[in-house]
Structure 1
């Protein structure tokens, strides 16, 4: 069971970090391993930060990422929807479509960050996402915040180790429209509502 008070407290800290990067006009990278469920949440945050003058980074579009899965080695392509990075099965690459694959791998964020560095930057002041996007960025020393389901403890471990700034406990498998109240709450708390 997820304690709602812990979720609200973490959402407040999450919004505080978004507000801080908005005030500084920093660069932000968004990425999700749950594109079917969470693209709307992250996309709204990316839109708001872009409107506030932040650069929403989109490096390595179309770049291949080989990820070992329980089905063997799979090749995926990096793509962005509404400024949010995700991976797609290589033959199904259709830019702008919200569907992508579910992954916990840190390899996509490592690929994106390496591409940004190779191009001379900018590098993100904040990485926002879930699963491997947050943990992988945190392991590389980038400030990272994200949503975390209690059945996937990696973000909570990363937060306890000081590698993840904020891990918000919630159910990451509900219908996408159920995240709209959280989106409004975070945008209001971060002073980013339009």
Structure 2
């Protein structure tokens, strides 16, 4: 696994730049919603504290004077986090709890989550799919982006209004987003319908942070420019944040899927 992480640039020197990560740290320190993605930090997190945290949990450079070049992820930290991630999957399967899976990276991570959804369903967990088709207006720096919530193979995602995805055609089945609104919409719909609510949320970006902030156990991968998940983990709102580049080709996540399912004893 360590060799694959380095060869695929899921860890080691990754495509995410130090400049991009530092820009997101500054936004997070300023409590910008674009970087908080649903988290409401309890403590103060100035940029130096964020750099120290990310160095500890991801393996990025701890030197504030390092301001350019590729960011780094320690593959051993990734493997440790994958083991913890697998342990939470195993616990969910043993308890047969309802789970929710959602992604803001459908073009890269959909297959990863869909495999987990299938394995957990086979183990007796209910994979929840509330609020399908519900409209969600996501605010971006370019204005409001009208979207609808959908599910592909048990995984929630958002689709931009007016953009049709044809089964079997190339391209992502949904839109990239960091927004916490999708998971909030899903949970509100589940409550209105009388439940059940998920006892575990598996995803990325706002799916993890917003669910964790609401007291639901949440786990998922996170890149070095996603400090919210690691702050959430440090403060106890997020159970497991796996440091990994979240934007490489989807095929490179297949060994991670096999690894966590094997570790969770959920291989199909």
Q: TM-score, normalised by structure 1?
A: 0.97
Within the candidate set 63, 83, 86, 1:15 is matched to 86
Return structure 1 stretches of 4+ with deviation > 2 angstroms. Answer: 92-98
Is 1:175 matched with 2:249? yes
Is 1:145 matched with 2:216? no
CA distances 1:32-51 after superposition (whole Å, capped 9, x unpaired): 00000000000000000001
CA distances 1:122-160 after superposition (whole Å, capped 9, x unpaired): 000100000000001001110000100011111001111
CA distances 1:86-140 after superposition (whole Å, capped 9, x unpaired): 0000222558675111100100000000001110100001000000000010011
Task: Quote the Cα distance in structure 2 between the aligned partners of 1:96 and 1:38.
Answer: 17
Aligned residue pair count:
194
Task: Quote the Cα distance in structure 1 between the aligned partners of 2:155 and 2:167.
Answer: 10
Task: Quote the Cα distance in structure 2 between the aligned partners of 1:93 and 1:189.
Answer: 37
Within the candidate set 235, 241, 244, 1:161 is matched to 235
Within the candidate set 147, 150, 166, 1:79 is matched to 150
In structure 1, what is the equivalent of residue 101 of structure 2?
30
Is 1:135 matched with 2:209? yes
Q: Is the 8 A contact 1:77 1:93 kept in 2?
A: no
Q: Is the 8 A contact 1:63 1:78 kept in 2?
A: yes
Is 1:125 matched with 2:125? no
In structure 2, what is the equivalent of residue 44 of structure 1?
115
In structure 2, what is the equivalent of residue 63 of structure 1?
134
Q: TM-score, normalised by structure 2?
A: 0.71
Task: Quote the Cα distance in structure 2 between the aligned partners of 1:95 and 1:11.
Answer: 33
Task: Quote the Cα distance in structure 2 between the aligned partners of 1:26 and 1:10.
Answer: 22
Task: Quote the Cα distance in structure 1 between the aligned partners of 2:212 and 2:248.
Answer: 26
What's the RMSD between the two structures over aligned residues? 1.2
Cα distance, 1:96–1:32 mapped onto 2, change above 3 Å:
farther
Residue aligned with 2:162, SS: helix
Cα distance, 1:94–1:63 mapped onto 2, change above 3 Å:
farther
Is 1:190 matched with 2:264? yes
Task: Quote the Cα distance in structure 1 between the aligned partners of 2:199 and 2:115.
Answer: 19
Q: Is the 8 A contact 1:148 1:171 kept in 2?
A: yes
